[in-house]
Amino acid sequence: MGIEEVKNYAIEKLKELFLLLNNFSRQFLSWFDKVFPPDTRKDKINHWFHVALPFLIVTIFLALISYCCYCCCCRGGGRGRGLGRMMKAPGRNCRMQRSTFESNPRGYFRNLRSYPGDQLV
């Protein structure tokens, strides 16, 4: 296949796509005119907007809550990494990342009681 044949093939496929989109838009507009006749279109669209608005608000609210939970819990509070494996912090009543403890256990125990207000066991 030469360059000209590839170019002609691409042009033919683009023409087919254009015709398909043109037919789809005509069918969509005819369906839209049946469902929402031009003389009552404004009232019907207004009615369906008011019916759908509570569902849209709830959906957006749930999407925002889900996104915030994902950012805080799954990505490590926005630091771009996951929480990883967790463990009970030795000598405290809280949980910590295992990788933090394993990277420097000596430093962890050295600083264990140096922070006032920690929940010590």
pLDDT tens per residue, range 16-28: 999 999 999 999 9
pLDDT score recorded for residue 92: 83
Calculate the average pLDDT of the chain. 84
pLDDT score of 36 more than 80: yes
The share of the chain scoring above pLDDT 90, in percent, equals: 44
Segment 79-85 long-range contacts (CB within 8 Å, at least 24 positions apart): none
Considering only residues 53 and 75, tell me which one the structure prediction assigns the higher pLDDT: 53
Interatomic CA distance for residues 72 and 65, integer angstroms: 11
Over range 25-33, report the average pLDDT: 93
Q: End-to-end alpha-carbon separation of the chain, Å?
A: 77
Tell me: pLDDT of 33 over 70. yes
Q: Which residue has the higher pLDDT, 6 or 71?
A: 6
Q: pTM for the complete prediction? A: 0.38
pLDDT digits (tens, 9 = 90+) for 76-115: 544 445 557 888 888 888 888 888 889 989 888 888 877 6
Distances (CA, A) of 51 to 35, 38, 44, 55, 68: 16, 20, 11, 8, 28
